[in-house]
């Protein structure tokens, strides 16, 4: 392993583990002792959580809608194939002498 990949201290290692994108986490190295800042950060994170939950719901709904469309198309294709087979069967029966 290269020397550059080895964290120089434990806090840097933890920050890289919990935050692989490298965005600074303010409370990770020196915890904030201001209650107002913590309340603001909690409110911000709850807003992000709500937004992510809402978007997860939209994605799940989109997936279900696409699955329903797929099932509908498969049903129509199966019905069309069955009708074509039935039509071909009748046409074949008319051509053969009895």
Alpha-helical segments (H) within the chain: 10-18, 26-29, 35-95
Q: How crowded is residue 38: how many other Cβ atoms within 10 Å of its Cβ?
A: 13
pLDDT digits (tens, 9 = 90+) for 49-61: 999 999 999 999 9
Residue pair 30/21 in contact (Cβ under 8 Å)? The answer is: no
SS3 call for 84? helix
Of 44, 57, 79, nearest in space to 87 by CA: 79
pLDDT digits (tens, 9 = 90+) for 22-34: 666 555 555 667 8
Q: Which pair of tokens denotes residue 79?
A: 């019905």
- With a threshold of 0.85, does the pTM exceed it? no
């Amino acid at each position: 392993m290269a020397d550059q990949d080895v964290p120089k201290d434990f806090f840097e290692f933890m920050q890289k583990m919990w935050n692989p994108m490298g965005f600074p986490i303010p409370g990770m190295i020196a915890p904030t002792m201001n209650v107002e800042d913590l309340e603001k950060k909690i409110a911000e994170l709850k807003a992000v959580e709500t937004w992510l939950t809402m978007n997860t719901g939209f994605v799940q709904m989109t997936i279900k809608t696409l699955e329903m469309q797929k099932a509908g198309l498969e049903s129509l294709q199966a019905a069309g194939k069955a009708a074509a087979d039935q039509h071909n069967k009748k046409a074949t029966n008319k051509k053969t002498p009895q």
